[in-house]
Amino acid sequence: MAQSGAQSRAGSGRKTRIVMKFGGTSVANIERINAVAARVKREVDAGHEVAVVVSAMAGHTNQLVAWCSELSPMHDAREYDTVVAAGEQITAGLTAIALQAIGVNARSWLGWQIPLETNDAHGKARIMGIDTGAFEQRFAQGQVAVVAGFQGIGPDHRITTLGRGGSDTSAVALAAALKADRCDIFTDVDGVYTTDPRIVAKARKLDKVTYEEMLEMASLGAKVLQIRSVEMAMKHGVRVQVLSSFEDKPGTLVVNEDEIMEQELVSGIAYSRDEAKITLMRVPDRPGVAASIFGPLSDANINVDMIVQNVSEDGKNTDMTFTVSKGDFERAKQVLEGKKNSLNFHSLISDSNVVKVSVIGVGMRSHAGIAQRMFKALAEKGINIQVISTSEIKISVLVAEEYTELAVRALHTAYGLDAE
């Protein structure tokens, strides 16, 4: 099974190769860095080839970012990158020292030393290529590569960073380049759950979840993995495991659909409170009306999520309802009120006391009745659905915010996700 990843290296008898990524809470102090080293040593002792990717100490990146912003709100992204990349540089060196202290052959690698080449989009750079030649050679000598996450080198010969949470992306990209058998993401949760355990006591940890489902969950607010890293894992077929750095037990594998034998219809229930609803009443129902509404919002860099258009009784007017994030709510209303004459709507009504609840599962692609079960479960609890939107593997509804917990629990039970 270790060799079943789509991109794993050809040939039998080769050692299992693992990328292990540790987040900021996992390297937050010297004691935890020693624990990381001990965890890595176990994989080395098992005969595996190991690359370790580390984040900065928890809180350190925030401190560095705050200093940049304090000096200048509009600071040079190239200097920002130089400053914040220091956090991962420190933990990479410290982790190498910790490994050496327990007899593990290890050395640190900074983005520019590998090199991990990116484009020149400082602050949110994209990885263009990773030269793994030096790693291959040193793996053969039994050396562990400790890689500073989040950073690379741009075409301008300066340090770049990959955007917040970029160490996940570093790890998955490295796993793809090394054709690793697995990319273990160690974090402060022990895996991906069927829903938020803080709301549903019976939430279950998933043994496996598909890339597509993980992507939907990440988009819908589950902050386990950075979206970009999941996209990259899907594209390159990297088997990702999310697991706890504090507990010693298996986590959740993020894999291709064909690796999951018995796929549940629904894998999880997600919710997002970061929603606000706007309705334009009695907009003239003519071709191009949607473009005339959403064009100005797009120009103002406001992202629109769910959209519903009702046909009016007289066939001349329509009501247009959509959601934006709470942060864009006031600005969206101002933009639209400013266009009231040209858009020619009757009135604008809005509501920010809403929550988006979503049911996610690749199984729903081939099964009917999934949506119906959702609507029925909510109706039985007396919860009114305000807006519905669907994708191939997701159904989202907008309901009043006060029903958040009730709706999530009802759906978790309705789809048979409750732990026994």
Q: Where does this chain bind a copy of itself (CB under 8 A)?
A: 30, 33-34, 64, 67-68, 70-72, 75-76, 78-83, 85-87, 89-90, 92-94, 96-98, 100-101, 107-108, 110, 112-113, 157-159
CB atoms within 10 A of CB 403: 18
Which residue is listed with tokens 């009306």?
A: 289
- Nearer to a copy of itself among residue 77 and residue 304 (C-beta): 77
**Cβ(291)–Cβ(308) under 8 Å?**
no
Strands 208-210 and 151-153: unpaired
Q: How far is the CB of 116 from a copy of itself (least distance, A)?
A: 14
DSSP string across 395-407:
EEEEEEGGGHHHH
Element (H, E) at 309: strand 304-311
The residue type of 231 is E
List the one residue out of 36, 86, 79 whose CA is nearest residue 61. 86
- Nearer to a copy of itself among residue 84 and residue 172 (C-beta): 84
**Cβ(199)–Cβ(404) under 8 Å?**
yes
Q: How far is the CB of 122 from a copy of itself (least distance, A)?
A: 12
Give residues with Cβ within 8 angstroms of 415, minimum separation 6.
Answer: 264, 265, 266, 269, 359, 361, 373
List the one residue out of 87, 130, 138 whose CA is nearest residue 111. 130
Q: How far is the CB of 71 from a copy of itself (least distance, A)?
A: 5
Q: How far is the CB of 210 from a copy of itself (least distance, A)?
A: 39
Q: How far is the CB of 84 from a copy of itself (least distance, A)?
A: 8
- Nearer to a copy of itself among residue 166 and residue 268 (C-beta): 166
- Nearer to a copy of itself among residue 107 and residue 204 (C-beta): 107
- Nearer to a copy of itself among residue 114 and residue 180 (C-beta): 114
Q: How far is the CB of 143 from a copy of itself (least distance, A)?
A: 12
Q: How far is the CB of 140 from a copy of itself (least distance, A)?
A: 19
- Nearer to a copy of itself among residue 156 and residue 337 (C-beta): 156
Q: Is 320 exposed, middle or buried (0-12, 13-18, 19+ CB in 10 A)?
A: buried
- Nearer to a copy of itself among residue 27 and residue 393 (C-beta): 27
DSSP string across 254-306:
EE-GGG-SS--S--EEEEEEEEEEEEEEEEE--TTHHHHHHHHHHHTTPPEEE
- Nearer to a copy of itself among residue 27 and residue 362 (C-beta): 27
Q: How far is CA 401 from CA 16, 277, 396, in A?
A: 48, 11, 14
Q: How far is the CB of 57 from a copy of itself (least distance, A)?
A: 10
